[in-house]
């Protein structure tokens, strides 16, 4: 079942009717990514660009370097004057100028003349090599030179790095620090990038109170909004942690309506099951734009994906309705939300790194559902990946409520649908989450 | 030569006289890390804690979960009433309460009674199992049950995850998203963490202008302050990009004096060589608190490390005086500054991940100096690390000015001091930088 946006509500209601059969994880991911494009580019100052993805090629404004300059502190010379220079035959020449970095002086050298020159200063007309100060007596009126320079020694040529108009960075590149530097060096002060998505994070459940608040019987601290906000930030998004909303259709609807024009994505947790108070399902399902077809995975089977209805020209925010159990919410975030956020950011690589690991303690996996088991990945011996081991982070297995165990996990073991028993010694694929 | 802080300036001046012999990279790193402790802890709200390192154990405030609750939407039952229930022998019982998540109701069940219950709601007194709604007719006045529950089925016990006072996170843990969630779940709203260091970044050189500004002969765009600010942010620090300062002792001294009480670290680039205008060396060396002993590395041989003098009880900011060439500055940042920033943040792991790679195109390395060559690391075939290859990012080799090539590199090959030739097919160690 294809999941697209921009159709009328009527079409959507049909398209998003409950699936006759549950979807596999890869089918669900294809539906999610098929609905997500990189956010429209914006121009930002270089100081704000680090870590974002370029949406344009960056071309050099001028040659880099823009003029011949010295690679050393020393003396700009005419090499022909010094072919015979050596420790046994020092040659002394008059110093006619002193060229600091940043100078615009250009004192043309006549034969027999030299200019003191600092690293980065422009090579004066006539000079064709630089003698480092280590090969001189460091004189300022005249200088004695004890070594003949090689041709063009220590001269950085204009355009040696790049010519004006050359592409120094291509569209789609991640602006890691050295690329920010390359853009600066090319003479660029701002770049066109895909912006970071603004992501509202909402927990639902009348049992939830803010951590640190007193709880009475029936209440527990909200942890999912912290979990998912931190995960959004780690993925490169800008989280807006709304916190907990009670199981009240009108309240949730009002919160979502208020957010619709202000964020790119809304991540909900809880209220997606089959209970009488499943507020997320109650509010979103009638819209016809959010699909709750079950996914063949454990944990995370019940969840929804779609969009809040558009109210203008722009599409409504993406909506991920994740299960309420923290482990289920976390796994669903890693499997579906994080790749979608990276697509919004313009990244080409959407998935985390995986490794092959050897199982230490086995566990069971449900038939017909892909299992994502929080594991602790360790290096057996020498730190190479040959020696990677994985064991369940909670002795109790993949139970969805084991937050403390989850906190120690640094990977998710990915167990295929048709596997029902994972045994010690098995080789498995683990998605590394930290 | 040990490098400690807190001595008088006189002692420091002696201790930091030019080293008789240059230091190895590991000696220099030991000096740097020997001067750096994690920043004094501060208490922050959980929303601000993601990615930081805990400076306290986090204990649960109450049992987790704090009360017996239902793991499913269904019916809280007395199991003894339903031992004979099956599809062929459905049992119908009266529903005496409806328990939503968050309720504080506790309707003690008498034999033969059940209560409708939602996931997370407290198990009422008397009940000892939960029948999922899938095994019922979902009745509200009375309900028909078609399967006998297992003992304690779908009941999450109080304290199953953790008991009040249990340690759920240990001091020194990095607060990745699932750990932020564990702290929230434990009932904690704030945590004691090592704060992110505030890092001022200054380029020096009268030739430098802001990128995008018009340049005349002799001027080039400042790229190092962008490079190093982005690198600081990537390492977890909070950069304050000061930009370019001219080669003027008084100006630089005034800028540093102004910054001294406001940042934890100052990263300078340029002005550390032997030239007549080497402003950083000119300003810092007389202080006696910054050491400019050369390091046996390429690039990065000339650089300084120390502290701005203390003006009160707190030590002055750490100072890293890096070379001006962008590649040299970047390599020195990766080798010395980044580990120091991570130590300030309280991380136990200071170094980046390394891999073993096969050299594709060889290059030369200087004798007696460790070489850090920007390389492009690729996976040869199947994405396992067995097939990792490395080639120099710039055809011109490790020349310090090759910013555009550096921008394509995703690793630094680490070549030992005694190696002078790296050949195709050699196995080398590469620090992965992205």
User: What is the nearest CA distance from B144 to chain A, expressed in angstroms?
Assistant: 17
Whole-Å CA distances, B274 to A223, B271, B281: 57, 8, 9
Handedness of CA B305, B309, B315, B317 (dihedral sign): negative
Least confident among A309-318, B148-157, B244-253:
A309-318
> Hey, which residues 394-433 in chain A have their CB within 8 Å of chain B?
396, 400-407, 409, 433
> Hey, which residues 281-320 in chain B have their CB within 8 Å of chain A?
none
pLDDT for position A398: 44
Please indicate if any CB of chain B lies within 8 Å of the CB of A51.
Answer: yes
Least confident among A9-13, A415-419, A428-432, B170-174:
A9-13
> Hey, which residues 181-200 in chain B have their CB within 8 Å of chain A?
181-190
pLDDT for position B20: 47
- Quick one: average pLDDT of B50-60? 96
Query: Which residues share a beta bridge with A128?
Result: none
pLDDT for position A386: 61
pLDDT for position A401: 47
CB atoms within 10 A of CB B30: 14
Least confident among A47-51, A208-212, B159-163, B347-351:
B159-163
pLDDT for position A65: 86
Under the banding of pLDDT at 50, 70 and 90, the label for residue B14 is very low
> Chain A residue closest to B161 (CA)?
A402
CB contact under 8 A, A401 and B161: yes
- Quick one: average pLDDT of A85-93? 97
pLDDT for position A382: 53
Per-residue pLDDT tens over the stretch A207-226: 999 999 999 999 999 999 99
Residue A138 has pLDDT above 50, yes or no: yes
CB contact under 8 A, A103 and B190: no
CB contact under 8 A, B185 and A403: yes
Under the banding of pLDDT at 50, 70 and 90, the label for residue A10 is very low
- Quick one: average pLDDT of A76-94? 97
Nearest by Cα to B296 from B351, B335, B349, B324: B335
Least CB-CB distance to A403: which of B101, B161, B384? Answer: B161
Please indicate if any CB of chain A lies within 8 Å of the CB of B50.
Answer: yes
Under the banding of pLDDT at 50, 70 and 90, the label for residue A402 is low
Looking at every residue in chain A, the average pLDDT score rounds to 91
CB contact under 8 A, B181 and A326: yes
Residue B99 has pLDDT above 80, yes or no: yes
Q: Is A123 helix (H, G, I), strand (E, B) or coil?
A: coil
Looking at every residue in chain B, the average pLDDT score rounds to 91
User: What is the nearest CA distance from A141 to chain B, expressed in angstroms?
Assistant: 14
Residue B2 has pLDDT above 90, yes or no: no
Cβ neighbours of A65 in B, within 8 Å: 220, 401
- Quick one: average pLDDT of B11-26? 59
Q: Between A362 and A403, where is the model more confident? A: A362
Please indicate if any CB of chain A lies within 8 Å of the CB of B273.
Answer: yes
User: What is the nearest CA distance from B186 to chain A, expressed in angstroms?
Assistant: 8
pLDDT for position B400: 41
Residue B4 has pLDDT above 90, yes or no: no
CB contact under 8 A, A406 and B182: yes
Per-residue pLDDT tens over the stretch B281-317: 999 999 999 999 999 999 999 999 999 998 788 889 9
Element (H, E) at B321: strand B318-322
Full set of structural domains in chain B with CATH: 9-40+195-344 (3.40.980.10), 43-64+160-194 (3.90.105.10), 69-156 (2.170.190.11), 354-432 (2.40.340.10)
Least confident among A273-287, A326-340, A386-400:
A386-400
* Cα B140 versus chain centre, distance: 52
User: What is the nearest CA distance from A146 to chain B, expressed in angstroms?
Assistant: 18
Least CB-CB distance to A220: which of B47, B66, B231? Answer: B66
pLDDT for position A403: 74
Residue B380 has pLDDT above 80, yes or no: no
pLDDT for position A400: 41
The rounded distance, in Å, linking the Cα atoms of A51 and A410 is 23
pLDDT for position B382: 53
pLDDT for position A397: 47
The rounded distance, in Å, linking the Cα atoms of A160 and B201 is 27
Query: Which residues share a beta bridge with A305?
Result: A291, A320
pLDDT for position A194: 98
Q: Is A401 helix (H, G, I), strand (E, B) or coil?
A: coil
CB contact under 8 A, A102 and B207: yes
User: What is the nearest CA distance from A385 to chain B, expressed in angstroms?
Assistant: 8
């Amino acid at each position: 079942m294809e999941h697209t946006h921009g159709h009328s509500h009527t079409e959507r209601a049909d398209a998003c009717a409950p699936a006759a059969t549950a979807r596999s994880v890869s089918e669900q991911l294809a539906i999610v990514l098929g609905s997500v494009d990189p956010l429209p580019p914006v121009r930002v100052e270089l100081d704000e660009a680090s870590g974002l993805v370029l949406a344009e090629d960056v071309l050099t404004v001028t040659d880099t370097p823009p003029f011949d300059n010295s690679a050393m502190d020393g003396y700009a010379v005419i090499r022909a004057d010094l072919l015979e220079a050596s420790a046994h035959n020092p040659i002394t020449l008059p110093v006619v100028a002193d060229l600091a970095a940043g100078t615009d002086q250009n004192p043309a050298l006549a034969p027999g003349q030299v200019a003191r020159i600092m690293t980065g200063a422009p090579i004066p007309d006539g000079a064709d090599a630089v003698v480092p100060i280590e090969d001189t007596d460091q004189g300022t009126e005249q200088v004695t030179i004890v070594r003949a320079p090689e041709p063009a020694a220590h001269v950085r040529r204009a355009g040696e790095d790049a010519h004006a108009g050359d592409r120094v960075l291509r569209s789609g590149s991640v602006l890691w620090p050295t690329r920010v530097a390359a853009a600066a060096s090319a003479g660029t002060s701002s770049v066109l990038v895909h912006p970071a998505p603004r992501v509202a994070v909402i927990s639902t459940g009348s049992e939830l109170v803010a951590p640190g608040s007193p709880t009475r019987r029936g209440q527990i601290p909200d942890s999912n909004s912290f979990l998912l906000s931190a995960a959004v930030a780690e993925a490169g998004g800008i989280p807006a942690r709304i916190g907990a909303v009670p199981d009240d259709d009108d309240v949730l609807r009002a919160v979502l309506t208020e957010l619709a024009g202000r964020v790119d994505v809304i991540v909900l947790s809880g209220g997606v099951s089959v209970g009488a108070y499943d507020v997320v399902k109650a509010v979103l399902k009638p819209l016809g734009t959010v699909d709750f077809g079950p996914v063949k995975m454990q944990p995370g089977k019940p969840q929804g994906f779609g969009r809040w209805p558009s109210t203008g020209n722009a599409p409504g925010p993406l909506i991920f309705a994740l299960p309420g159990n923290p482990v289920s919410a976390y796994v669903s975030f890693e499997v579906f939300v994080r790749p979608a956020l990276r697509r919004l950011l313009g990244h080409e690589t959407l998935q985390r790194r995986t490794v092959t690991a050897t199982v230490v303690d086995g566990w069971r996996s449900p038939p017909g559902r892909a299992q994502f088991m929080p594991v602790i990945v360790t290096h057996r011996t020498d730190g190479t990946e040959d020696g990677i081991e994985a064991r369940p982070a909670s002795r109790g297995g993949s139970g969805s409520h084991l937050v403390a165990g989850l906190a120690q996990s640094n990977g998710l073991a990915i167990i295929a649908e048709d596997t029902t028993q994972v045994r010690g010694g098995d080789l498995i694929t683990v998605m590394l989450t930290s």
